[in-house]
Amino acid sequence: MIELEAQDLGIGYAGKRLVEKLNFTVHSGDYLCILGENGSGKTTLMKTILGLKAPICGSLEFGEGLKASEIGYLPQQADLQRDFPASVEEVVRSGCLGRMKLRPFYSRAEKALADERMKELGITALRRRCYRDLSGGQQQRVLLARAMVATTRMLLLDEPVTGLDPEVTKELYRDIEMLNKDQGITVITISHDVEEALKYATHVLYIGGRLFFGARDEYLRHIGGEAAREPENAAEGGHAE
């Protein structure tokens, strides 16, 4: 089932056009890795998917029943966000806010869902801890749990392992893989950690120079292993969609 489809999509901000003629399709259960140089438009594309920015041209359509407000989103963290003075439980439950509208209190089912997500990511013991007192890896797990509370269909992850040590990075990637393979959640992620990210991706979208969209193995055949580790070279080896 198609979850997301872009046709001749153009994206940008403040009158600046970053990418044109983006064509890609995301099916239920896909794991799409978005690669490209700094400033190529990866985060802008994610914000366009979320409805935070309007397309400049072309179309971006969701699959049946999916709305931008129902997508789980783990953004890049700013220093101010890392110092957020709330409990882990409060942060995770806040993933429900998008569907609560004017309702002031969490339902029993929403609280139970937050509990289940914390359990799945091994952070139940942290539920009463203040978010700002956690390590970087613990904070990312909390934000991932929050994003999981927001959706059962699609997760958008913007540089989810930035600043984490190698072992914590591997653990977080394994958590994301579990959500994708075991729960069937569609994952769209931006990553500079190309070699690690490609271990789990089913598809690759490269933005910058000539565009590429296709299966991971196709990307590796077109671009080659060395270029896959150095995405700035990918524009010369990919194919336009």
Q: What are the DSSP calls for the chain, one per residue?
A: -EEEEEEEEEEEETTEEEEEEEEEEEETT-EEEEEE-TTSSHHHHHHHHTTSS--SEEEEEE-TT--GGGSEEEPPPPHHHHT--SBHHHHHHGGGHHHHTT--S--HHHHHHHHHHHHHTT-GGGTTSBGGGS-HHHHHHHHHHHHHHH-SSEEEEESTTTT--HHHHHHHHHHHHHHHHHH--EEEEE-S-HHHHTTT-SEEEEESSS-EEEEHHHHHHHH-HHHHHSGGGGGGTS---
147-187 pLDDT, tens digit per residue, is: 989 887 899 999 888 778 888 888 888 888 988 998 889 99
So what's the pLDDT on residue 237? Answer: 34
Low-confidence ranges of the chain (pLDDT < 50): 80, 225-241
So what's the pLDDT on residue 38? Answer: 81
So what's the pLDDT on residue 81? Answer: 62
pTM strictly above 0.85 = no
Mean pLDDT of the chain: 84
So what's the pLDDT on residue 165? Answer: 83
So what's the pLDDT on residue 77? Answer: 67
So what's the pLDDT on residue 182? Answer: 87
So what's the pLDDT on residue 214? Answer: 93
